[in-house]
Chains A and B, each alone.
Chain A
Amino acid sequence: GAGVSQSPSNKVTEKGKDVELRCDPISGHTALYWYRQRLGQGLEFLIYFQGNSAPDKSGLPSDRFSAERTGESVSTLTIQRTQQEDSAVYLCASSYLPRDQPQHFGDGTRLSIL
């Protein structure tokens, strides 16, 4: 079956612009995560959705970052007024259950802020 799909695969934009990143999880997966990975660094947790529960936003680095998910479907991560330090790969992952099932990652969106 289809894996986690992310779009766009690459995004280049000017500082100060808003960007929207999309994640299509595996069908039936209730949990969805967003991570940021800077070059050569680890997985920085951003936000986590579980079913219809309130999302865990504890990893969002500033109020310029927000994310939405409707039910158990597509999620979008929005970065407003982008800064150069936002340049990174943004990875989405989904799992059938949140804590004791493997996460399946998408290929990520490589975001470059000029």
Chain B
Amino acid sequence: GENVEQHPSTLSVQEGDSAVIKCTYSDSASNYFPWYKQELGKRPQLIIDIRSNVGEKKDQRIAVTLNKTAKHFSLHITETQPEDSAVYFCAAPIIQGAQKLVFGQGTRLTINP
């Protein structure tokens, strides 16, 4: 079945530094790659997504890059702030068979003041 591997599982950075989380996927036909942020006790919320026809997308301090050849995509957060502390999940679709979105294992990001 489809595997979405996410690394690292935990990440700690100093406030103001950048954070990068990487995901790899196995279905070469996958065409949509969202990232979710889950704050403590809250539901996961979509923060950015990218489709396979572009290589990079930015939204203020957040960016996502996609390398279809290598089948990986990354979340980049610049100028990190304490409110960026959360668990982040990537996802990628299975195109064959069940055709559903599969989530990575999550990354717990801690921003140290």
Contacts and interface: CB of A to CB of B under 8 A. Distances in A.
A99 B32 contact: yes
A72 B49 CA distance: 25
The winner among A45, A103, A104 for most chain B CB atoms within 10 A is A103
Interface size class of A (residues with CB under 8 A): 20 to 34
Report whether over half of chain A's contact residues are helix, strand or loop; otherwise say mixed. Answer: loop
B101 interface: yes
B62 interface: no
Contacts of B31: 100
Interface in A8-40: 31, 33
Contact of A100 (B32, B43, B98, B105): B32
B89 interface: yes
Contact of B43 (A31, A56, A102, A107): A107
Interface string B85-104: 00001010111001111111
Nearest to A43: B103
Given A99-B95, A100-B51, A105 B100 contact: no
A105 B46 CA distance: 9
Contact of A102 (B49, B98, B99): B49
Contacts of B105: 42
A103 B93 CA distance: 11
Scoring A43, A48, A50, A107 by chain B CB atoms within 10 A of each residue's CB, the highest score goes to A43
A48 B44 contact: no
A100 B92 CA distance: 9
Interface of A: 31, 33, 41-43, 45, 48, 50, 56, 58, 91, 95, 98-108
